[in-house]
Structure 1
Amino acid sequence: MPSKSDVIQRIETAATWIWRVAVAGLLLSITAITIAQVVARYGLNNSIVWAEELNRLLFIWLIVLGAAGADHMRIGLIADLPGLSRPLRVVAALGALGAITLLAWGAWKLSAMFSFDRYVTLDLSKWWYFAALTVGGAVWAVAGVWREVFHPGGGAPQ
């Protein structure tokens, strides 16, 4: 029977792998669409009309999902003081969680307002644009809490 730390390690490994594949897939898609658009525009003298809208949509998803796994900036001079290290990490985690919650809530409200608007060339609901912040915000929040609980002070898992 696997120990609790083995199960936690497996969950972390699987989630990190899924996150990396998703972010890499988004980056690869954006790169391929951009290259195809440049070749079509300058090589074939014909534009791919939906490329700019799709790239913008994928880029938003890439930014929000990519931020979920990033180590974020901090001022080491203050944050590394022995007596203040843990309390400052908790305050920073709670502040980040509050900011992410506000972003996700605002995106949820905007997605309801704009759900019937559609992208001109993609014929997709603009709900997808705001869903990136809702879904990505949830992933970001879970990743932040996970790091603080299982890797306090250690940053993102490698």
Structure 2
Amino acid sequence: MTGLVTLVVRLWRIIVGGLMLAVVVLTVSQVFARYVLNSSIIWAEEANRLLYVWVILLAAAGADHMRIGLIADKPRLRPALARLGVIAGVAALGLVVWGGWTMHAVFGSDRYLTLGISKSWYFWAAILGGSFWAVVLVWRSLTPPREEPGV
């Protein structure tokens, strides 16, 4: 199972890194075209917005999220608050996925003007990213924390 998890984490990092690289290259190209060539890449804004949504929803699954240490660090409250955090997180992500699915059902047939692709790509980011994030949240709650070197 550890090998599968390692493979999924590597694939996730490659995807998120590739999306972020695409955002940077597209943004730099757009700035260069606009200010040096006095022209514009007309589809760059829509593409960047779409890429940002995917990057945010996929990358957030790997982030360490904020907590209030004053309460969360109390030893007797830690297990209950951890369970409550997972339940609340999965519920919130369920709303993200449900909202993405609803928006896909209503607006999925619309198309981006300059890209010419379906806006379903936009909503699938919420569906897949939110689902992945929920799985990671549950997985982290079921696996013991790793000791970091030097700590």
TM-score range, shorter chain: over 0.9
User: Could you tell me the percent identity over the aligned residues?
Assistant: 49
Work out whether residues 100 and 137 of structure 1, in 8 Å CA contact, stay in contact via their aligned partners in 2: yes
Structure 1, unaligned stretches of length 5 or more?
Answer: 1-7
Partner residue in 2 for 1:5: none
Q: Which amino acid aligns with 2:30?
A: Q
Question: Is 1:89 matched with 2:96?
Answer: no
Partner residue in 1 for 2:131: 138
Structure 2, unaligned stretches of length 5 or more?
Answer: none
Partner residue in 2 for 1:120: 113
Residues 15-49 of structure 1: per-residue CA shift (max 9 Å, x gap): 11111111110110000001111111111111100
Question: Is 1:75 matched with 2:53?
Answer: no
Q: Which amino acid aligns with 2:55?
A: L
Q: Which amino acid aligns with 1:72?
A: H
Q: Which amino acid aligns with 2:11?
A: I
State the alpha-carbon separation in 1 of the partners of residues 114 and 95 from structure 2.
31
Q: 1:4-153 residue pairs with structure 2 within 5 A?
A: 8-151=1-144
What RMSD over aligned residues (CA atoms) do the two structures have, in Å?
A: 1.3
- Aligned length, in residue pairs: 147
Residues 109-137 of structure 1: per-residue CA shift (max 9 Å, x gap): 10110011100000011111111000000
Stretches of 4+ moved more than 4 A in 1? none
Partner residue in 2 for 1:3: none
Work out whether residues 89 and 153 of structure 1, in 8 Å CA contact, stay in contact via their aligned partners in 2: no
Q: Which amino acid aligns with 1:44?
A: L
Residues 126-150 of structure 1: per-residue CA shift (max 9 Å, x gap): 1111110000001100110110001
